[in-house]
Amino acid sequence: MKRTWRFWAALWVGKLITLGLQISGKKGTTLPGKIAQGVEPEILKHLGIAYTEGIVIVTGTNGKTTTANLLASILREAGKSFAFNQAGANLVTGISGALIQNTRWSGSSRTKLALLEVDEATVPKFCAQVTPSLAIVTNFFRDQLDRYGELDTTVRMVRESLSSDTVLILNADDPLVAQFGSNHSRTCFYGVESTPDSRKESQETREAKFCPVCGRELGYSLFHYGQLGVFYCEGCGFKRPEPEVLAQNVFSDEGLRFRVGTATFSTALQGYYNLYNALAALTAARQIGVADPLIEKGLREFVPQAGRMERFYLPEGEITLTLVKNPTGFNQVIQTMLSVDKPLRILIGINDLAADGRDISWLWDVNFECLEAQAERIQQVVCSGLRAEDMALRLKYAGIPEEKLTLEHTLTAALSLVQRDRQGNEAAFILPTYTLLFPLREILEERMKTAGSSSLRDNKRREEART
């Protein structure tokens, strides 16, 4: 493909802006990508041809960031270099910016492999210019309906965008994802045999209540969470595919441990929903040609990314920060909290800015009622953010006693409240939507510096520096 003057102008402008941001001490890939896109709308097509070892994308509703970073950890253990939008800027502008950073002024790429997290709504735009060699599809749940529209539309857009030349790594337990394999010959499925939380019956909201092929109601022999499980359709025969990578003997204790075939794997991640992220990364790594011992080490030594069950160590005790953004994800976080056999202190921060989703009616689809069943364990719930009152009202309707609910819009004060009079045997969780995640994280980091404490991530970095 011949590179035009537009490409060179876009590349050099993007690199100059990147250099300027670095000199000024600022981070970010979105601005260079946005300006470069304005100069050359097809810059991704020009940049993509350099990745002769392949372009791996990760998409889906939940788990994109964690899955991409798990796979990155494995690839690093395997000694592979790759371009990566690690900052999580997963729209066209952010992806363009990340690839510009990995491109020399001469137009050649510093690496021959790329690993990219791609927003579901961005997949059609991305695939219009670039054909991924490997695509991981994690799951599909309702998320920001004001932005994405109905879930069926999102699923259809992603499915129709992926080329027959792309190898698909698919979640066999999600019928909305599993259907991608029906007319696609190059697929590899991963799934879970069972977890301690799997049930024969479920009252959870399911996004895929009906068969995506014939429309008949799906049956289940086992539910894992949401619509994920061992499903079947008595109408047309559509059913959960047999996973080539199947997690068995799943166990959770300060992390996850599971077996695939004869190999045992573990990760510091909490929550059975993260088991799927580990499996997706494992499956993709095998497809790339990484050996199981390196995969095992990459998973085991992975440090959770910012706001994904990230643990901080303050004088009052350990505190866990994790993003919440839709009903199914929130439900899984609640189940993870309740699996901790300790009294609980919780800070929930809800904003309704554009990046969070303007419509917060999804809070009424979260199963907060299961917190009421454990009310004696809940010491305090602090509600913060622009929609703190809405969150408190939802919890009140769920049966959480009013005396355990506190409203505090100022983040520093809210964090102090959830830590005040905390006892040594109590666990603390902070659950923010997207635009509150990084402000809260900055406050936690500042308090750690003041106290001379650290996060699990900081400890890992020091260990790496010593070795």
Indicate which residues carry an active-site annotation: 359
Q: Which of 424, 436, 371, 427 is nearest to 397 (CA)?
A: 371
CA distance 125 to 92: 7
Q: At a CB cut-off of 8 Å and minimum separation 6, what does 121 contact?
A: 147, 148, 154, 157
Beta partners for residue 225, in sequence order: 228
Q: What residues form DSSP beta bridges with 380?
A: 345
Residues ≥6 apart with Cβ < 8 Å to 361: none
Residue 250 and residue 192 in contact, taking contact as beta carbons nearer than 8 Å: yes
Terminal alpha carbon distance of the chain = 44
Q: Which two tokens stand for residue 256?
A: 């996850």
Is the torsion defined by CA of 396, 361, 158, 354 positive or negative? negative
Closest CA to 36 of 85, 104, 102, 93: 93
Torsion on CA atoms 369, 152, 212, 195, rounded to nearest 10: -40
**Residue-wise burial string across 344-383, b where 16 or more C-beta atoms lie within 10 A, e elsewhere:** bbbbbbbbbeeebbeebebbeebbbeebeeeeebbbbbbb
């990578």: which residue's tokens?
Answer: 245
Given a contact cutoff of 8 angstroms between Cβ atoms, the answer to whether 172 and 241 are in contact is yes
- CA gap 145, 358 in Å, rounded: 9
Distance CA 318, CA 343 (A): 13
Distance CA 137, CA 176 (A): 10
Neighbours of 291 (CB within 10 A): 11
Query: Which position has the token pair 């996060």?
Result: 455
The residue to which tokens 């166990």 are assigned? 251
d(CA 212, CA 219): 13
